[in-house]
Structure 1
Amino acid sequence: MAEVIVIGGGMGGMAAALLLARQGHEVRLIERHERLGGKLAEHRRDGFTFSLGPSLLTMPHLFRRLGLRQEFVEPAELCRYRFADGTRLTTSRDPERMARAVESFSPGQGTAWRAFHRWAEGCLRAAERTVFAGPPLRRPEEARLSDLLAVSPARTLDGLARHFFTDPRLRQYVGRYATYAGSSPYLAPAALGCIPALEHGQGGWYVPGGLARLADELALLLTEAGVEVSTGVGVERVLADGERVTGVRLESGEQASAEVVVANTDSAELYGRLLPHRRRLRAEARLGRSSSALLLLAGVEGRTPGLPHHSVIFSADYAAEFGDLFDRGRPPLDPTVYVGCSAVDDPSQAPPGAENWVMLVNVPARDPARWPLSPESYRDVVLERLAARGHDLAGRLRFVDLFTPADLRERYGSWGGAIYGSATHGRLASLRRPGNRGPRRGLYLVGGSAHPGGGLPMVTLGAHIVAGLVGQDFPAERKVRS
């Protein structure tokens, strides 16, 4: 049995702590904020509930493996896309139905979508044998040489879209998967194109009451497993000698010993502050920053006919939008807007006859004080763009609460944006993420910036990988669950 300290109570930290406790280790989870859950956060006002993080999840089996018993509900549509020319594409889980929808939307492109989906399925199978199977630089047992070619390593995501589709709207549809990782389709690897295989193969799921209920149930499971949870406690430093970690020093000055430290933090924060490592920090900085998010949380009067749970309203010029984000460092004046309305499937999320709109816009991960427009002025730009694309909320708004990247970092941890080392840029970015093993024995990384990457399912998968590594390095008697 090893003494384990997990720094950070986001999904990755909670899952890793639970799995390690079940292995028989003595685990303490330390979270700077007063609540657990990280991105699994919500905002409540006047009877409305808004998710501040994910609105849907894929790969539900990863959560079941943790012992979560929450009900999962599958919305009728995966997503509805609205393009600048006014056309719409509704996506559903069934691949053949999706292909027919694409053919009706853009004659001649249904066959192209089938070919794209076959590629995505092959890419996903390759990822399951390699990237999803364990840390980089270790050849998984089932990996094949052909797996490298299956992820189209020479292409960006935009290049992949151009390979399959002639319709620029469908290229935009493929390119939006880059934003799952805070990247640009013109920089992100083609491997992100495997996400549609997950969506159409395993579905997109909602948790009644909001995805924050996952964090609530995980907190109960941590207690059952005997994990010591400390909230409102900051870690100042990871302690280590030349070869191994020895524990942590808290901001209070207290030192806590440990043979294993699992960092559920941005890897740049780990190597820049908690355990300074100049070489690794420089490598992280070269990978570039991810984008962040501006959230508009609107209490909306009335019900919108036919509104889906999840929709995307695209900009007119994708290249200009991402040029603003990553080249010019400013919020796009014509942004793509992601709209989630959980009240469509869960009336408990809004008062009777009302809707809870979560509007997310990708913005640079920089201080909003350096934006050309104030966040309040940019909010008005977003609402005007929505109105121009068929979603005029004028006269229906009870309120709009604004959350900038700085707000998200302050209230819910560092996930609001300043993520270096997210390794979302470049054709081989999937292989360049920081590994799950750190530079000292007993140090492990889990979370959005570490292998296998961001997103709720990938972070959960990373926790399973870390638990496996610790199990190899520090064997322990498994606890027998009563």
Structure 2
Amino acid sequence: MAEVIVVGGGVGGMVAALSLARLGHQVLVIERLPRLGGKLAEHHRDGFTFSLGPSLLTMPHVFRDLGLHRTFVEPEELCRYRFADGSALSACRDPDRMAERVERLAPGEGRSWRAFHAWASRCLRAAERTFFAGPPTRLPERAHLSDLAAVAPGRTLAGLARRFFHDRRLRQYVGRYATYAGSSPYRAPAALGCVPALEHEQGGWYVPGGLPRLADDLAALLKEAGAEVRPGTQVEAVLADSRQVTGIRLAGGERVRADVVVANADAATLYGRLLPDRRRMRRIAGLGPSSSVLLLLAGVEGRTPGLAHHSIVFSADYEQEFGDIFDRRRPPRDPTVYIGCSAVDDSSQAPEGAENWVMLVNVPAGDPGGWPVGPEAYRDLVLERLAGRGHDLAGRLRFVDMFTPADIRDRYDAWGGAVYGTAYRGRLAPFLRPGNRGPRRGLYLVGGSTHPGGGLPMVALGGRMVARMVAEDFGPAARGGPA
């Protein structure tokens, strides 16, 4: 059995640590912040609770398989889409009802949605046999020859939307799934179109008390499995010789020996600072950064009639919006705004008779000091745009707390950094992410910037993949090093 150090206590690192501890390895998790969970962070003010990271859970079986017994709740609507022309689409889980709603929105497109859903389901099956099953360096055991064509290689998500839909609004609906990976629908791979199949087949779920409760559950399971956790501890370097890792160095100089180091950090952080590697950094930087977000957290008086748990208020010109983010490197003048209000389904998240609005706007990654307008002025523009599209909060706001990309990165290590590999080479992005095995024996990578990519269940799957690799390389059956 190996001595394992996991650097970073995000979901991917926690799942890797849990899986390895259960296999009998000696596991130490080191986290810079005083809490575990990574993107599963939250903000509290005046009796309101706001989730700063994921607000929707897909693939709940991934977490149930780890031994989490918490109850999950399925909202009545997957999402309420509001378009610039004043129309709306209420997405539901049942495919037949969804097709009927699409037909009412855009006569003639119900059949197109059914065809899109069938394609997404085939793409999902192919992804489960290949991309979700292990790193791209390994030949999947259950892969079919037809799986390559099933993911529409070389096609963008926007191109996929044009293939199925004539209505501009439905093309926006498909394109928005690019933002799950911090990308643009005009660059992201069509394979992201499998996400709607996940939602309609397995549902979109909420955890009472907020999704950060999943981090609490994983932390409890880590303790039960015998893993040691050191929160509030900064790792300064990963130590290695020319062949293998030997441990880590903490801020202050303490060295901790290890046979295995699992880096649950952005690959750019690993190869840029913790274990410098110029060649790999050049490759990563060449992939281009993802988008980041501006978060507005609002305490809202009263209840909004008909408000869904999840809403998306679309811009009038999607192509212009993503051109602003990725080409002109500025916040979009007409932004799409995601609104999450967990108080719709969970009264613990806001005082009685009030709502907790999380408003998320996609913006360029990095310091907002380079924006044409300051964050405060941009916040006011976002609220003005929402007011013009049916969400006027004038007279109802108790407060609005704002978190820029730099704020989120520095305070919560969630959603604030530039995760590389999803933007400029988007159609090939799934195959260009850094691998889970590093260049030294005993070094492994997990998290949103590595295979299989971002998203809560994906980083959890990545944690399980890494645990399997360590078992292969350092378990009783291992014979001299990695395969």
Q: Which amino acid aligns with 1:79?
A: C
| Structure-2 residue corresponding to 1:443 | 443
- Structure 1 counterpart of 2:251: 251
**Mapped pair 1:22 → 2:17:** no
Q: Which amino acid aligns with 2:153?
A: P
Work out the CA distance in 1 between the residues paired with 2:101 and 2:233.
51
How far does residue 421 in structure 1 lie from its aligned partner after superposition? 3.4
CA distance in 2, matches of 1:312, 1:121: 23
For 1:21-420, list aligned pairs within 5 A: 21-413=21-413, 415-420=415-420
Q: Tell me the amino acid that sits aligned with residue 274 of structure 2.
A: L
Take 1:374 and 1:288, find their aligned partners in 2: how far apart are those partners? Answer: 24
Q: In structure 2, how many angstroms separate the alpha carbons of the residues matched to 1:454 and 1:343?
A: 26
The superposition leaves residues 423-477 of structure 1 with CA deviations (integer Å, 9 ceiling, x where unpaired) of: 6742222111111111111111110000000010101111111111111111159
Mapped partners of 1:306, 1:417: distance in 2: 34
Are the counterparts in 1 of residues 296 and 400 from structure 2 also a CA contact under 8 Å?
yes
Query: Counterparts of 1:320 and 1:57 in 2: how far apart (Å)?
Result: 30
Distance in 1, matches of 2:232 and 2:391, equals: 41
TM-score between the two structures when normalised by the length of structure 1: 0.98
What is the number of residues matched between the two proteins? 477
1:89-112 alpha-carbon deviations (Å, 9 max, x no partner): 000001111111111110100111
Structure 2 Cα separation of the partners of residues 226 and 114 of structure 1:
48
Cα distance, 1:244 vs structure 2: 1.0
- The CA deviation at 1:417 is 2.6
Q: Indicate the SS of the match to 2:236.
A: strand
SS of alignment partner, residue 279 of structure 1? helix
The 3-state SS of whatever aligns with 1:473 is helix
- Please list every run of 5 or more consecutive structure 2 residues that lacks an aligned counterpart in the other structure: 478-483
Q: Is the 8 A contact 1:9 1:36 kept in 2?
A: yes
Shift of 1:278: 1.2
Residues 424, 19 of structure 1: CA spacing in aligned structure 2 closer, same or farther, 3 A cutoff?
farther
Check whether the contact 2:20–2:27 (CA below 8 A) recurs between aligned residues.
yes
Query: Residues 381 and 326 of structure 1: is their aligned pair in 2 closer, same or farther, counting only changes over 3 Å?
Result: same
Q: Distance in 2 between matches of 1:138 and 1:287?
A: 22
Distance 1:464 1:197 in 2: 23
For residue 403 of structure 1, what is the amino acid of its counterpart?
F
Quote the Cα distance in structure 1 between the aligned partners of 2:389 and 2:423.
33
Q: What RMSD in Å do the two structures reach over aligned CA positions?
A: 1.1
Identity %: 74
Distance in 2 separating the partners of 1:422 and 1:259: 32
Counterpart secondary structure, 2:427: coil
Per-residue displacement from partner, 1:381-413 (whole Å, max 9, x unpaired)? 000000000000000000000011111111112
* Rounded Cα–Cα distance in structure 2 between residues aligned with 1:420 and 1:117: 29
Letter in 2 for 1:196: P
1:40 deviates by 0.5
Question: Structure 1, residues 355-396: CA drift from partner, whole Å, max 9, x if none?
Answer: 000000001002111111111111100000000000000000
Secondary structure of the equivalent of 1:416? coil
Letter in 2 for 1:306: G
Q: Conserved in 2, the CA contact under 8 Å of 1:189 and 1:424?
A: no
| Alpha-carbon distance, 1:243 to partner | 1.3
Greater Cα shift, 179-188 or 268-277: 268-277
Query: Is 2:32 aligned against 1:7?
Result: no
**TM-score where L is the length of structure 2:** 0.97
